[in-house]
Amino acid sequence: MSAVDEPTLRALLDDLAAGRVDADTVIARLRTLPFADVGGALVDHHRALRQGRPEAVFGPGKSPEQCARIVAELLDNGIGPVLMTRASADQVKAVEALVGPGVHEAGCLLYRAPDRVRPERVLVMTAGTADLPVADECAITLRAYGFDAVRITDVGVAGLHRFLDRVDDVLAADAVVVVAGMEGALASVVGGLAAAPVVAVPTSVGYGSGLDGVTALLAMTASCASGVTVVGIDNGFGAACAVARILR
């Protein structure tokens, strides 16, 4: 079966109308459209039809064998991109043993990234080097959805002159993801300058009063820069998904 998306469904209905396939064939193909049971997981076949992007696979809590079955189900049905996030070494090993090697970066495993890069200019900025793992997850997720993100790293407010050197890039962006721990102030700085959508990602980087990212989260949601979107702590994946929705 091919991917369950709008073009495929239209082609199937055109084939039915033209008599190239019969109704029984169409019913048989649609019967597995919503999801497939692969043992312990119900794999969503038509999420791309509903949301414009296929299901991603979250690694934690799943066995390596479950991850392999889920990824194989998606690939076998022509679905792409296929992205597994927060994958352990054992999970990656099991998946690649079953379906072959993928792009393994930032704790993620990616198959069938789009060949064509979208024209929108998306920035992924970090306040510090310690925020890079979250930014890396965001960047590979953006790649899965066709965006070649521009990386700007280590430009937090403790050295504001470093950020000011990249203001032109911020002003020219179509969307900006700001990844910051500590007090999360970089999101407000960017939100006060950029006309583009700003998605802020608080990270668990910081000292005791940082409360594992809670301080940055609260600061970002209380930002005086109106319209800044905030996702959960360390959620680089969610930030990329927000950008993909905004720029759809």
Of 3.40.50.1970, 3.40.50.720, 3.40.190.10, 3.40.50.620, the CATH number of 122-246 is 3.40.50.1970
Read off the pLDDT band of 224 (50, 70, 90).
very high
Task: Summarize pLDDT for 102-127 with one digit per residue, the tens.
Answer: 999 999 999 999 999 999 999 999 99
9 has pLDDT over 90: no
What is each CA distance from 101 to 24, 65, 110, 112, 127, in whole angstroms?
A: 37, 16, 9, 11, 33
Task: Summarize pLDDT for 12-34 with one digit per residue, the tens.
Answer: 888 889 999 898 887 776 665 66
pLDDT score recorded for residue 51:
72
pLDDT score recorded for residue 248:
86
Task: Summarize pLDDT for 160-197 with one digit per residue, the tens.
Answer: 999 999 999 999 999 999 999 999 999 999 999 999 99
Residue 39 vs residue 100, higher pLDDT: 100
Task: With beta carbons less than 8 A apart as the criterion, state whether 138 and 151 touch.
Answer: no
To the nearest whole number, what is the mean pLDDT of the chain?
A: 91
Domain with CATH 3.40.50.1970 in the chain: 122-246
pLDDT score recorded for residue 13:
87
pLDDT score recorded for residue 192:
96
**Backbone dihedral angles phi then psi of residue 230, each to the nearest 5 degrees:** -120, 130
pLDDT score recorded for residue 37:
67
3 has pLDDT over 80: no
